[in-house]
Amino acid sequence: MAYTLANFCTDLSATLKAKGQNGLPDVARKLSELINNPEFVAETFNDDTPIGRRVLWHDPETDAYVLAHVQEGGKVGKPHSHGASWAIYGTARGVTEMTEWKRINPVSEEGAVIERTRQYALGPGQTRGYASGAIHSTAHPHKAWVIRITGTDLDAIPRYHFSAKTDKILENV
């Protein structure tokens, strides 16, 4: 029997309740199993699905969200963190180019200096988790269909992006 969204949501909730952020690798593996299910991908995305995001599921007990994103091709994101939230990205179709960054100067300094630490692509069926505060950026050279799991509603908390012009981490409000 194929692994379904309902199976994934049950496992996601149970893992977060038992392990918190320490369970992110387990959730990422389960997300990979879900996005490798062609029936789930076909039910969630098609060529006519508009650019943007949709909430597929929200767990009121853990506050986790399962989101479906259709990413426009040619889009390159800025380095950012999700503040107090963690995130897991999984590519269902297309490619998500990921870059991980780290701050190399003390947080006591006003301007943040960051450097790239890793770059890789997440192809179909591949996932990666990012703990709260992890600085990363995404790029989509072509249209991509992505599932993202977050620890809360990211629009409801302070998040941060890096401004190359000012060398500062700025809060998104």
All structural domains of the chain with their residue ranges: 5-172
Mean pLDDT of the chain: 93
Query: Which pLDDT score is estimated for 104?
Result: 87
What is the CB neighbour count within 10 angstroms for residue 142? 12
> Any idea which fold 5-172 has?
Jelly Rolls (2.60.120)
Closest CA relative to residue 106, chosen from 48, 29, 169, 25? 169
pLDDT band at 24 (very low <50, low <70, confident <90, very high): very high
Q: Is the pLDDT of residue 170 over 60?
A: no
